[in-house]
Amino acid sequence: MKLNRDFYNQPILQVAQQLLGKFLVRKCRGRKIAGKIVETEAYVGLKDKASHASRGRTKRTEIMFGQAGHAYVYMIYGMYYCLNIVTGREDYPAAVLIRAIETPLEGGTRESRLQAGSGPGKLCQYFRIDKKINGLDLTGNVLWIEDRGIKIPKSRITRAKRVGVDYAGEYKNRLWRFYIKDSRFISKT
């Protein structure tokens, strides 16, 4: 059920695709929050100008250079957090951004149920993910990812350009965004 280190040690583009259909689970104050991952993006290596790691190994990006299977959480635009999963071998910076999660909310309007996890900032609010999660080992029991037996066939996975990285030169055109084709929970744009 719970994904182990071997899963996260695979090549990043494989991890990014295989995370689709898996469940992110968070234990928080005695409660469990869970939802199905439906959209991811890969940030790959030192040359990827869209990746924070392209500026080298700094205090902030250190975690991306570390062991696979850890969480990289950073604050963006002064108000939102983004959750990434570190992959690949040590000293090679690679991480998968979790962009959208299907959130099984009860109550509220149909629209609010659909949108609670459809975006990297929003899903962090929903899962109560903040700076304290940064560096956390995902093989532990606070935050982890489970395989619940759902397999997404290749034919149902869409590959696309990443969102919000127009400044990244040629790397802005890399098809390193993956999402489940028919999901209604995909982030905007």
* Helical (H) or strand (E) element with 34: strand 31-44
Cα angle: 9, vertex 76, 106; to 5 degrees: 80
Residue 14 binds DNA (CB under 7 A): no
CA 110 to each of CA 33, 106, 107, 128: distance values in angstroms, whole numbers, following the listed order = 19, 9, 8, 22
Rg (CA), the chain: 15
The distance of closest approach from Cβ of residue 100 to DNA in the complex, given in angstroms and rounded to an integer, is: 8
Q: Which of 21, 35, 69, 120 binds DNA (CB under 7 A)?
A: 120
Is 112 in contact with 128 (CB distance < 8 Å)?
no
Is 173 in contact with 161 (CB distance < 8 Å)?
yes
Residue 31 binds DNA (CB under 7 A): no
The distance of closest approach from Cβ of residue 181 to DNA in the complex, given in angstroms and rounded to an integer, is: 19
Measured over the CA atoms of residue 120, residue 108, residue 104 and residue 113, the dihedral's sign is negative
Q: Please give the residues from 122 up to 141 whose contact with DNA meets the rule CB under 7 A.
A: 122-123
Residue 174 binds DNA (CB under 7 A): no
The distance of closest approach from Cβ of residue 73 to DNA in the complex, given in angstroms and rounded to an integer, is: 10
Q: Which of 6, 29, 30, 79 binds DNA (CB under 7 A)?
A: 79
Q: Please give the residues from 94 up to 113 whose contact with DNA meets the rule CB under 7 A.
A: 95, 97
How many C-beta atoms surround the C-beta of residue 106 within 10 A? Answer: 5
Q: Which of 75, 114, 142, 157 binds DNA (CB under 7 A)?
A: 75
Is 52 in contact with 43 (CB distance < 8 Å)?
yes
Q: Which of 74, 92, 147, 158 binds DNA (CB under 7 A)?
A: 74
Residues that bind DNA (CB under 7 A): 41, 43, 50-53, 55, 58-61, 64, 72, 74-80, 82, 84, 95, 97, 115, 119-123, 162-165, 167, 187-188
